Structure 1
């Protein structure tokens, strides 16, 4: 499967990181870069965090940083792509505004990490599990809305077929122990699907068992998207009830990557996870 073009918002973040790299290599501080544009140090910080930059400002910074022609061309391409408009009818436009970047990043990142405490991640949900979740919303959505949301979420799962991408999921056991009266068969189907997912070469799945006790970050759902751009980029999505927050500050993303490592250590290995899943399915 061909790798999708990076979303414009990601392009701006990549450009910001690239400009920060060039500034540092030039031996300049942010306030010295601000003198070039006759702006505040805060504006340079915003540019480097992915807010975007005008072409004339970009050229001025590149000249001051002593960028090579190759680096100039790369930065200009990033700037142009960062201002690209989403095509009408693009797949991500089926989703709510706060979800669109998430959907675009799922299809374009090199590596995707996801931690979920109370529900199975959307990319791994079966159709019946999805419908059960959607019916739990209040006020209750219409059947037509449930059908549409289910269809869209199933379509998102096609990204898992891209062997060039790496997907790694950590799920707390609590997510698999929660089902309502009459839904045990639905959960059994969901659990059996997870055992099949374990055998995909581009997917890793770990379960944090109840026996692990308390561990760092439990109960705080998040996803990490990593890009192997010239200046590598990691973006964190923090899931919330009424939306979500994107984090691309390098210090904060580093904290989540450190948290991810701790959660991997708390979770069971793939084969231990398989045994737990099979035992759980047998009990349903």
Structure 2
């Protein structure tokens, strides 16, 4: 029996819908080529639909007939299709951000699990305002004072998601990120904020120490958004210099989940993480 739909970004709903259609197709013993024959399209289009590109209602109904879906699955899948067509409201919080960040900002408060790995920078959801401003001053071309003010205000507003105890947040940070800014007036309060955050029941911070040496995926920043939908889905945001890439392909997401487990194993436990943070702060 399917669970009631949570309020999720339309792009996420499309991924859930595609995963649901792939599940129904497999259960019916049909191939993508069979679905393509019913819709009069290519197998590649079916692959795109199942990876989250969306589908028209008339096409959806044809596939549900092919898969002999029961009434419950038909109703749930149609609900997914309807929700996936909703557009972001004008003035929504995510519209304050650059286009490539808007889905990320929408997913932060709606996911069930949030896993973030950062190699050289403290994750945005954990940053102090002074750290944000120091980071913004490094941008080229330089930002104006007004732009930096807006940047800090918007990023601080995002941090409210950490107050939702129904969500679980994990952050793995390479120790190098604790030494990137040499100004102790900026970095020491930032590190002490990390110490305070470790006391939250739904937020987990772990440091990969220098003593860990080389480990899998170091320097490869990404975030995993986990959704307990039916079927459950994970969407990866991979950071890039001038934007980011969203990954929802099942094979690639599985690779990132494996990478996460490896990096989590390389990181210290909570007690040692707190000790490292306090020692670095004391040295400043």
TM-score (norm 2): 0.97
CA distance in 2, matches of 1:184, 1:136: 17
Aligned residue for 2:52, secondary structure, equals helix
Contact 1:4-1:107 within 8 A present in 2 as well:
no
CA distance in 2, matches of 1:139, 1:26: 55
CA distance in 2, matches of 1:194, 1:28: 50
Correspondence for 1:184: 184
Please give the root-mean-square deviation of Cα atoms over the aligned residues, in Å.
0.9
Per-residue CA deviation, residues 93-117 of structure 1 (Å, 9 max, x unaligned), is 0000000000000010000000000
CA distance in 2, matches of 1:114, 1:220: 11
- Match runs of 1:81-120 below 5 Å: 81-120=83-122
Contact 1:36-1:61 within 8 A present in 2 as well:
yes
CA distance in 2, matches of 1:163, 1:132: 30
Per-residue CA deviation, residues 14-68 of structure 1 (Å, 9 max, x unaligned), is 0000000000000011101111111111110000000000000000000110111
CA distance in 2, matches of 1:14, 1:262: 27
Gaps (5+ residues) in structure 2?
none
Correspondence for 1:208: 208
CA distance in 1, matches of 2:80, 2:173: 36
Question: Aligned-pair distance for 1:217?
Answer: 0.1
Question: Aligned-pair distance for 1:4?
Answer: 6.8
Correspondence for 1:76: 78
Question: Aligned-pair distance for 1:178?
Answer: 1.3
- Match runs of 1:248-267 below 5 Å: 248-267=248-267
Correspondence for 1:62: 64
Gaps (5+ residues) in structure 1?
none
CA distance in 1, matches of 2:98, 2:143: 15
Count of aligned pairs = 280
CA distance in 2, matches of 1:5, 1:78: 11
CA distance in 1, matches of 2:32, 2:205: 42
Aligned residue for 2:170, secondary structure, equals strand
TM-score (norm 1): 0.97
Instruction: Tell me, yes or no, if structure 1 residue 13 matches structure 2 residue 15.
Output: yes
Correspondence for 1:141: 143
CA distance in 2, matches of 1:24, 1:113: 30
CA distance in 1, matches of 2:46, 2:130: 49
CA distance in 1, matches of 2:164, 2:246: 24
Correspondence for 2:44: 42
List, as ranges, runs of 4+ consecutive aligned residues in structure 1 with deviation greater than 2 Å: none
Per-residue CA deviation, residues 223-282 of structure 1 (Å, 9 max, x unaligned), is 000000010100000001100000000000000000000000000001110000011111
